[in-house]
């Protein structure tokens, strides 16, 4: 499972706080927030890697 999917699952499905998920996965709260917002806007498409420009 990708880290993004793990994080989105923890917040959206398990109902954990974004701060807790960020802390337990060693990532910033901002990144967790962006992932969750992207998931809510795009659905499963958000789980795919974004192209590098």
Structural tokens at position 23: 């802390």
Domain boundaries, the chain: 3-44
Cβ–Cβ under 8 Å, residues 7 and 21: yes
Q: What is the token pair recorded at 2?
A: 């990708």
Which residue in the block uniquely carries the two structure tokens 């795009």?
42
Please answer whether residues 18 and 36 qualify as being in contact, where contact means their C-beta atoms are separated by less than 8 angstroms: yes
Q: pLDDT of 5-47, one tens digit each?
A: 999 999 999 999 999 999 999 999 999 999 999 999 999 887 7
pTM to 2 decimals? 0.82
């Amino acid at each position: 499972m990708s880290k993004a999917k793990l994080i989105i699952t923890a917040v959206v499905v398990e109902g954990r706080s974004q701060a807790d998920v960020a802390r337990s996965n060693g990532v910033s709260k901002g990144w967790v927030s962006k992932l969750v917002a992207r998931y809510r806007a795009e659905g499963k498409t958000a789980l795919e890697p974004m192209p590098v420009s």
